[in-house]
Amino acid sequence: MIDRVKGVRDFIGITAVLRQQALESIRKSYELFGFEPIETPSFEYLSLFTNKSGPEIESQLYSFEDKKGEKLALRPEHTISKLRVVSGNKSLVFPLRAYSIGNVWRYEDTKKGRWREFIQADIDIFGSADIKYDSEIIACIDFAIKRLGIENYKINVSNRKILTSLMESLKVEVEKIVQVLREIDKVHKVGLDEVIKRISELIGETKAEKVRDYLNGKEIPGIEGIKDVEYLISDLKKNYGIEGVYFDRSLVRGQDYYDGSIFEFEFTEGELKGVVLAGGGRYDKISMKFDSDFPISGGAIGFDVIMEVLVSNYKNKFYKTLCVLSVDDLETSRKIAASLRKEGLVTDIILEDTPLSKGLNYCNSKKIKYAIIVGKRDLKDNLVTVRDLESKREMKFKLDSLVEEIKNLI
């Protein structure tokens, strides 16, 4: 036998069903807010990624030569491909609301529990610098996550202008800013004191203590961006009814392209407490790399994390699918299946003579909730038995009213 490649996955059964349901739900949420799909190819010229993200990215890419010797790479994220499309299309009308849901590939160290193929579900609004569009992105992601039935999370927000402005006011040397920000990002992991100690070594104690003041919530005059954060929090409450949004002063969210609002959805309960369900922010200057000039606000749901949360909650769920099992009248069973499907009811049927026990085993393996058992003895009295595989309860319905009864049942 030949195995599956390391670091990628197969999905089958309950997990696969849940994944499709979650993907569809996210898509519907994005569409509800007026977002339209952008689909890009799975691979691009390697140079597109290395030109835009720097040559060091190649070590994380699946890059290869095609049969003509062209150097290609599987996309490691949606952003660069979307920017190629949007900046190359002069007929587009802004603001453009677009979503992209699909696989991305990264040559990651699999020991860390990371996957080499996974799904990202992005939304972006291209072409407006207005902060109200940041609200719209966050509200749309909030809607999508709530619609999946996930409620135990909080939204951390900040603005990249704040820390940039603080670094400038402290006259931190440009080449040290990235290192300082990286340390600030670790406050929740290693604690404030440890972070200040590390920063002191980089920029001296006096400046580090100013950073401590800011992280402790002290007003620092002349720092840009704080008003934006306050507006964002109040706007999300007022116009979308979203509470539970917090100014997280240590939020950095990666070192590159963000230059305005930034946000993270943080799960707050159980074993997965602390994981980031979604994140994003404003990146107004990135399009210049594509010889264009349009501001962008965007975000993405981490589909794998979402699935971890969902699967841990729904493991024992039965699906409201029906299965028609013939004990000894396949003709009638097929008629029943046809009439159920006509009403839009998801219906499986075993088309060969099968002992009842084997049929019920089949239903259980697929987490089908209702088995419709068609037997001669029942049919004599014009009846059909419906078995609820979850509660193990059995009901008898008249053949003529079966479809109606089942519609009431599910």
Site for its own copies in 187-226 (CB under 8 A): none
Q: Where are the alpha helices (DSSP H) in 191-252?
A: 192-203, 205-215, 226-240
Q: Which stretch binds its own copies (CB under 8 A): 24-32, 148-156, 180-188, 400-408?
A: 24-32
Minimal distance in Å, beta carbon 163 to its own copies? 26
Mark residues 83-102: x for contact with its own copies by CB under 8 A, - for none: -xx-xxx--xx-x-xx----
50 annotated as ligand-binding = no
Q: Which stretch binds its own copies (CB under 8 A): 224-232, 244-252, 265-273, 345-353?
A: 345-353
Would you say 77 is a known binding-site residue?
A: yes
Q: Should residue 42 be labelled a site residue for its own copies when binding is judged by CB under 8 A?
A: yes
Contacting residue, 25, 33, 185, 389, with its own copies by CB under 8 A: 33
- C-alpha span between 406 and 344 (Å, rounded): 12
**186 and 199 in contact (C-beta within 8 Å)?**
no
Least Å distance, CB 64 to its own copies, is: 3
Alpha-carbon separation of residue 96 from 36, 49, 74, 133 (angstroms): 9, 23, 25, 11
Which conformational region is residue 291 in: left (phi greater than 0), alpha (psi within -120 to 50 degrees), or beta?
A: left
Q: Is residue 372 involved in binding its own copies (CB under 8 A)? A: no
Does residue 399 sit in helix, strand or coil? helix
Strand-strand pairing, 319-326 and 347-349: parallel
Pick the closer one to its own copies by CB: 273 or 358: 358
Q: Does 338 participate in binding its own copies (rule CB under 8 A)? A: yes
Q: Is 270 in the site for its own copies (CB under 8 A)?
A: no
CB of 71 to its own copies, least distance (A): 10
Longest dimension (CA), the chain: 91
Out of 152, 255, 312, 365, the residue judged to bind its own copies by CB under 8 A:
365
Q: Specify the DSSP class assigned to residue 255.
A: S
Q: Can residue 143 be called a binding residue for its own copies (CB under 8 A)?
A: yes
| Nearer residue to its own copies within complex by CB, 107 or 246 | 107
**Is 120 labelled as part of a ligand binding site?**
yes
Element (H, E) at 158: strand 153-159
Strand partners, 157: 247, 263
Give the whole-angstrom CA distance, residue 146 versus residue 152.
9
Least distance to its own copies from the beta carbon of 135, Å?
8
Query: Which residue, 85 or 403, has its beta carbon nearer to its own copies?
Result: 85
Report in angstroms how near the CB of residue 299 gets to its own copies at its nearest. 16
Among 183, 188, 233, 257, residue whose Cα is nearest residue 225: 233
- Whole-number minimum distance, CB 363 to its own copies, in Å? 9
Question: In whole angstroms, how far apart are CA 199 and each of 46, 85, 177, 187?
Answer: 37, 41, 10, 12
Given a contact cutoff of 8 angstroms between Cβ atoms, the answer to whether 103 and 58 are in contact is no
188 is in an annotated binding site: no
Q: Minimum Å distance from CB 102 to its own copies?
A: 9
Asked if 257 touches its own copies (CB under 8 A), the answer is no
* 410 touching its own copies, by CB under 8 A: no
DSSP characters over 162-202 = HHHHHHHHTT--HHHHHHHHHHHTTHHHH-HHHHHHHHHHH
By CB under 8 A, tell whether 303 contacts its own copies.
Answer: no
Annotate each residue in 227-246 with x if it binds its own copies (CB under 8 A) or - if it does not, as one string: ------------xxx-----
| Residues in 318-337 that interact with its own copies by CB under 8 A | 321, 323, 334-335
Binding-site annotation: residue ranges for L-histidine: 77-79, 106, 120, 124, 253, 257-258
